[in-house]
Amino acid sequence: MNDGKVREVVVIGAGPAGYTAAIYLGRARFKPLLLTGSKAGGQLMLTTRVENFPGFKEGIMGPDLMEEMRIQAEKFEAEIKMQEVTRVDLRSKVKKVWTGEKEYRARTVIVATGAEARMLNKGEEKFLGKGVSTCAVCDAAFFKEKTVFVVGGGDTAMEDALALTRFVKSATVIHRRNELRASKIMQERVLGNNKIRILWDTEVVGVGGESKLEKIKIRNVKDGKEEDLMAEGLFLAIGHAPVSEFLKGQVDLDEKGYLITNLVRDGVENKKVWLGGFPTQTSVEGVFGAGDVVDARYKQAVTAAGMGCMAALDAGKFLTESVVA
């Protein structure tokens, strides 16, 4: 069932990238339809105070920032529906997007569905923003002189541990294996830092606390011995999963599921496309990507917002040139 309209643009996803795209498109009078899904606001809805988004000298709560973006998008006549996209048909000139039985049609589509941090699924979800974090760069300053733990063994975990040492009393890396997966140079930096220790062959099997994180339970994977540790912070650095399952077979994705655009392929910027064309366009004409569903590297609210702006400008240019043609 469709509503009989062929819109200029549908934006899928409502984090910083999706809202920013809707704001730009709305101001340009393209009257975008924004399909937020059930998790409008993205990962920022799980954070507390955001201090690294420009324009808020005292910081702003993550949900409040997303609410301000939503209101701004509506001010410029973006049509916002809290509906989950279940499938798409992007191959034809007129794109089709379904939310259950409801069908929407548009000349262009911007995918800004973001990525979800991988969790341990040990009950830590209830402590997100209350001692548990998935972004050390974002939240390190809130853990001054505290005892914190980082879960993971790759470059991201090493980067998180190093970023935390500027603030915390101590940082302990918890890794399931007896050797790190991180690059050699990152390993050397971590192993040479006296504020960081590593628990080898260890996994987190539980978390505890009342209103905030207070302790974690660890287990040695070799002998099965368990131990409770007092913890004031737990940082998960075990990867992100882009929200792109519904795009399979429609547009090109890399081996991890990230959306491939003209600008970013395998996490590497293709600077040649800056001079012309549509940097944020995917493998399908008229379909653009923005935010963490594209960006496997930076994963910041401000970079997602910037990419949302880029995708909106590209979609607007595409629509304008299509009319002229």
Give 41's pLDDT tier (boundaries 50, 70, 90): confident
Q: How far is CA 142 from the centre of its chain?
A: 20
Give 266's pLDDT tier (boundaries 50, 70, 90): low
Closest CA to 90 of 287, 312, 291: 287
Q: Is the pLDDT score of 69 beyond 60?
A: yes
Q: What is the mean pLDDT of residues 256-282?
A: 75
* Beta strands at 102-111 and 2-12: parallel, antiparallel or unpaired: parallel
Q: Please state whether the predicted TM-score (pTM) of the whole model is above 0.85.
A: no
Domains 2-116+240-324 and 119-236 alike in fold: yes
Q: What is the mean pLDDT of residues 164-189?
A: 94
Q: What is the pLDDT of residues 9-24, one digit of tens each?
A: 999 999 999 999 999 9
Identify the bridge partners of residue 206 per DSSP, sorted by sequence position: 217
The whole-chain average pLDDT of the chain stands at 92
Q: What is the mean pLDDT of residues 169-195?
A: 94
Least confident window among 152-166, 201-215, 257-271: 257-271
- Domains of the chain by residue range: 2-116+240-324, 119-236
Give 218's pLDDT tier (boundaries 50, 70, 90): very high
H helix runs in the chain, sequence order: 16-27, 62-75, 136-139, 155-164, 184-191, 301-324
The length of the chain, given as a count of residues: 325
Q: What is the pLDDT of residues 272-281, one digit of tens each?
A: 555 567 999 9
Domain 2-116+240-324 adopts which CATH fold? Answer: FAD/NAD(P)-binding domain (3.50.50)
Q: What is the mean pLDDT of residues 147-165?
A: 93
Q: What is the pLDDT of residues 233-253, one digit of tens each?
A: 999 999 889 999 999 999 999
Q: Is the pLDDT score of 271 beyond 60?
A: no
pLDDT at 113: 96
Domain 119-236 adopts which CATH fold? Answer: FAD/NAD(P)-binding domain (3.50.50)
Q: Do the Cβ atoms of 313 and 23 come closer than 8 Å?
A: no
Catalytic positions, please? 135, 138-139
Q: What is the pLDDT of residues 45-57, one digit of tens each?
A: 867 788 889 999 9
* Percent of the chain predicted with pLDDT > 90: 78
Closest CA to 297 of 255, 325, 319, 269: 269
Give 148's pLDDT tier (boundaries 50, 70, 90): very high
Question: Reduced to 3 states, what is the DSSP secondary structure of residue 81?
Answer: strand
Q: What is the pLDDT of residues 99-123, one digit of tens each?
A: 999 999 999 999 999 998 889 999 9
Beta-sheet strands, E only, within 145-185: 147-151, 170-174
Angle at 266 between CA 265 and CA 270, to 5 degrees: 35
- Residue entry with tokens 């800004």: 112
Q: Is the pLDDT score of 323 beyond 70?
A: no
Give 324's pLDDT tier (boundaries 50, 70, 90): low
pLDDT at 274: 55
pLDDT at 103: 96
